[in-house]
A = this chain, B = another copy of it.
Amino acid sequence: MPVNYATPAPEQLHAVAGVRLGIAEAGIRKPGRRDLTVIALDPGCRVAGVFTQNRFCAAPVQLCRRHLEIGGEMRALVINTGVANAGTGEPGIQAAWQTCTAVARLLGIEERQVLPFSTGVILEPLPVERLVAGLPACVADLSADRWHAAAHAIMTTDTVAKAASRRVEIAGKTVTITGISKGAGMIKPNMATMLGFIATDAGIAQPLLRRLVREAADESFNCITVDGDTSTNDSFVLIASGQSGAEFDSADTPGYAQLRAAVIGVAVELAQAIIRDGEGATKFISVVVENGREREECRRVGYAIGHSPLVKTAFFASDPNLGRILAAIGYAGIDDLDVAGIRVWLEAGADKVLVAENGGRASSYVEEDGARVMQQAEIIVRVDLGRGAAQARVYTCDFSYDYVKINADYRS
């Protein structure tokens, strides 16, 4: 059960002109489930992406990077679940390439115009014959209103499909932004999440699009952690079809700030949905670190808290074991940190409790206050480092029996 998240209804996910999606059951790992998606892009679409920094990056990630570096127009994305095609060596590259070839043939485009994505079990060969055999059904299914189905077809251990959509009026034009994501475990993205796809019918110049995909990742998928494990397949792709007629050539184009905010808003919604559906999650925790010298040190403190199994099990137990939070701040690796200047609050909605100051427990703190906040499903841990003006946010979930159960059972 995700924490305060439900998949939007199909009609809430607005079609993006120029982008069609088709899904199929290809039996890639298990029969009888939707596991293959093709996203077909009209001519004129621009695409930019960010990918995992894991050195064991998957074969499809390697091909995506290569195709985007070559440049030229991207015309299709193909996504399978079940098998990640990671840790598969040269045969894995061949399998990803065969996938691109098959998609290109069906759509009458070139191999290098296809971006492949895989998610699922690592170190197992991709059953490329079954995948290729499923592609015609995907292509037959192509339609602009299949975002809801596609959100389902890219799931692995996710318990809910994740999607977000909004429409904004910019300079007299209606711009649509719709996206989907997947991921629940092996989540500590580094440049992107497991898989995230956002499309807009705004037109965005390629250099600006490349910048925007990074900025959006930094505010969303690069701020989340379930278990601190960076996946081999993390990919986040932003597509701009231009078919709304709203065109953005540079960051100075009127209305761009509005578009940027809307794209980042969708990315944050999709990233948070991954945490709300984090394996075994019963709580959604925002760690807000303020007044650091620079963003990077704020992020380190945020991740130290967000990764700590001790902090996360305390949240699971609704136990205000605040010493664990202070210990995590202390080992975040900021060598010259003066703990006497730090203040820490626990917050839930309007309920704000100062828990630590002057290197220890706040004199006003009473355990009932901490316990009351800890019982909520949405909690903010606010840390004031008291030494600068930078800030960062990290989103995480608690650590429950079910995390262990899910990960001890996965594959079996």
Contact = CB atoms under 8 A, between A and B. Distances in A.
Contact of A326 (B122, B230, B328, B360): B122
Interface stretch (A21-29, A86-94, A210-218, A389-397): A86-94
Contacts of A405: 401
Nearest to A232: B327
Contact of A321 (B89, B329, B340, B411): B411
Contacts of A232: 323, 326-327, 330
A339 to B, nearest CB: 5
A123 B404 contact: no
Interface in A325-341: 326-332, 334-335, 337, 339-340
A68 interface: no
B123 A331 contact: no
B92 A123 contact: no
A412 interface: yes
Interface stretch (A135-143, A169-177, A305-313): A305-313
A290 interface: no
Contacts of A179: none
A322 interface: yes
Interface string A287-331: 000000000000000000001111001101101011110111111
A111 B369 CA distance: 39
A258 interface: no
A337 B55 contact: yes
A351 interface: no
Contacts of A359: 56, 87-90
A228 B87 contact: no
A124 B356 CA distance: 12
A228 B308 contact: yes
B331 A229 contact: yes
B88 A360 contact: yes
A403 B123 CA distance: 28
A272 interface: no
A87 B340 CA distance: 10
Contact of A229 (B86, B89, B186, B328): B328
B57 A330 contact: yes
Contacts of A334: 55
Contact of A87 (B54, B309, B323, B401): B323
B399 A89 contact: no
A69 interface: no
Contacts of A124: 323, 361
A211 to B, nearest CB: 23
Contacts of A84: 323
A12 interface: no
Given A54-B330, A122-B327, A359-B89, A319 B404 contact: no
Given A229-B328, A232-B327, A330-B56, A403 B309 contact: yes
Contacts of A56: 326-327, 329-330, 339, 359
8 tightest Cβ-Cβ pairs between the two chains A and B: A122-B323, A56-B330, A89-B360, A317-B408, A123-B323, A313-B407, A230-B331, A54-B330
8 contacts: A55-B329, A121-B321, A122-B321, A122-B324, A124-B323, A228-B307, A232-B327, A401-B404
